[in-house]
Structure 1
């Protein structure tokens, strides 16, 4: 097996584990783990589509990775900010 095959197997595992956990109700589509598994799977399959070049798979996986990154960004952007620092009040004389 070449390194490309190993990456393809790992990418497939990421997709199947993420999809399975989603369908069994362990993860939701808003879960960082689900989006990370999708991103890693897409990046892995994108790599395997390079040699020999498979344009259909390459384009699909690049778009998939971008969508997964967008999902991760939405999750992290909506996280509540930590408690803001309250400036110390100055005593009034």
Structure 2
């Protein structure tokens, strides 16, 4: 999956505070192969996201975990713009 999120100004400090733990937890997930989040230098509210999981079920687990996490609460109002590609064998 690749894309970006746009964080409302009111949530930017909370997102920046929560991001390191979100990255740590995601990278520790079984099935996570790559996870990168980079804040834009031109537009601080924009964060580019790239992640790969070993299979669809690992990605679905990640989505469920994030939804119920502190990160999910902090980012409830962000605008998400993702392209999700599921590889087939």
Q: Which has more radius of gyration?
A: 1
Q: Give the strand-richer structure, 1 or 2.
A: 2
Higher relative CO (Cα under 8 Å, sequence separation at least 6) belongs to: 2
Q: Give the helix-richer structure, 1 or 2.
A: 1
TM-score, normalisation: structure 2 = 0.30
TM-score, normalisation: structure 1 = 0.29
